[in-house]
């Protein structure tokens, strides 16, 4: 899931280990990677109690997801649930949220998308409730470009299949979106790409709100944001690993 390609491939091949030949991370199972993602994003503010769900499609077509009953910051690898493409649980006694329908629709509509993440996040949630798209004020908020759609036809949660499909279609080819009066949604080809998008979205929203409270200031012009954005789909080199190491230092039981 954490393969690299594009302009960062040579960087990762050259610096995948430090001068002491120590790997950046221990070997991680797919379920451990999903668990780490949940822990990492919970720390970023995607942590509204037991709300939120991540789905990660596997090469065999099955999907890994977090269980409904557990908060993201308490998950261990053994808690991650495998489901089929229609949402049937394959290997767990845990349940999955009925709202997983939007994820499954997105996976079916967009074969290039292997990761779908939704939560009622802190900073992006503020802008979703304001029903406004936050401007970009700094480099870290510009990592994923300008375009940020606001899906503003709130009709409740996403349990119903027809509503899930309509929402998935409305999102088009977007890499992320604000869901008005609801939360945020991010998709990606893999965990590394999705991680960069989540942390960029939260940083952009946080800085925009802080600037707004301070009295406001001109945003970066769109052309500057696009110039600052990270065009490589693999995201910022080494960031995923650094954030994963932080979680493992705090709680090695994540891998259990």
CA atoms within 13 A on the CB side of 130: 13
The residue among 210, 227, 214, 217 whose CA lies nearest residue 139 is 227
Mean pLDDT of the chain: 87
Strands 115-119 and 183-188, how do they pair? antiparallel
Longest dimension (CA), the chain: 55
In a domain, 113, yes or no: yes
Does 77 fall in a domain?
A: no
Q: Supply the pTM of this predicted model.
A: 0.88
Lowest average pLDDT, out of 46-55, 196-205, 224-233, goes to 224-233
- Cα–Cα distance, 36 to 164 (Å, whole number): 27
Least confident of 65-74, 75-84, 111-120, 231-240: 231-240
- What is the tens place of the pLDDT at every residue in 14-73? 444 454 556 789 999 999 999 999 999 999 999 999 999 999 999 999 999 999 999 999
Hey, what are 243's tokens? 């954030």
Q: Report whether 52 contacts 73 (CB < 8 A).
A: no
1 vs 9: CA distance, rounded Å: 14
Integer Cα distance of 173 and 29 in angstroms: 29
Whole-angstrom Cα distance, residue 108 to residue 168?
A: 10
- 225 SS3 class: helix
What is the predicted pLDDT for the residue at 164?
A: 56
Separation between Cα atoms, residue 142 and residue 119, nearest integer Å: 21
The phi and psi torsions of 214 (rounded to 5 degrees) equal -80, 0
Region 68-90: what's the mean pLDDT?
97
Q: Name every residue whose Cβ is closer than 8 Å to that of residue 57 and which is 6 or more positions away in sequence.
A: 63, 107, 113, 114, 115
Structure confidence at residue 172 as a pLDDT band (50, 70, 90)? confident
User: What are the backbone angles phi and psi of residue 145, rounded to the nearest 5°?
Assistant: 85, -175
Structural domain including 110 reads 6-21+98-255
**Could you give the number of structural domains in the chain?**
1
Would 131 be classed as within a structural domain? yes
Kindly state whether residue 189 falls inside one of the protein's structural domains.
yes
Least confident range of 89-103, 155-169, 196-210: 155-169
CATH number at residue 189: 3.40.225.10
pLDDT number for residue 123: 98
Residue matched to tokens 């509509």? 109
- Quote the pLDDT of residue 169: 72
5 to 24, 132, 193, 234, 239: CA distances (angstroms): 18, 34, 12, 7, 16
Whether 79 is covered by a domain: the verdict is no
Lowest average pLDDT, out of 10-24, 90-104, 203-217, goes to: 10-24
Answer whether 178's CB lies under 8 Å from 133's CB: yes
Q: Is residue 14, in this structure, part of any structural domain at all?
A: yes
């Amino acid at each position: 899931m954490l393969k690299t390609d594009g302009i960062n491939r040579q960087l990762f091949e050259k610096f995948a280990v430090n001068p002491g030949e120590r790997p950046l991370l221990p070997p991680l199972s797919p379920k451990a990677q999903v668990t780490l993602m949940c822990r990492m994003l919970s720390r970023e503010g995607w942590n509204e109690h037991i709300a939120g769900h991540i789905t990660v499609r596997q090469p065999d077509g099955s999907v890994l997801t977090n269980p409904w009953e557990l908060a993201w910051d308490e998950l261990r690898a053994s808690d991650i649930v495998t489901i089929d493409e229609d949402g049937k649980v394959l290997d767990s006694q845990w349940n999955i949220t009925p709202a997983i329908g939007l994820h499954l629709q997105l996976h079916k509509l967009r074969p290039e998308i292997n990761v779908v993440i939704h939560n009622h996040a802190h900073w992006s949630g503020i802008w979703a409730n304001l029903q406004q798209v936050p401007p970009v004020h700094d480099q870290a908020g510009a990592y994923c470009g300008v375009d940020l759609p606001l899906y503003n036809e709130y009709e409740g949660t996403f349990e119903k299949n027809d509503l899930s499909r309509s929402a998935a279609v409305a999102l088009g080819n977007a890499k992320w979106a604000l869901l008005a009066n609801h939360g945020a949604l991010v998709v990606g080809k893999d965990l590394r790409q999705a991680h960069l998008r989540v942390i960029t979205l939260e940083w952009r929203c946080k800085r925009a709100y802080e600037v707004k409270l301070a009295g406001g200031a001109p945003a970066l012009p769109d052309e500057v944001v696009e110039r600052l954005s990270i065009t490589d789909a693999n995201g910022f080199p080494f960031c995923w690993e650094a954030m994963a190491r932080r979680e493992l230092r705090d709680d090695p039981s994540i891998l259990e």
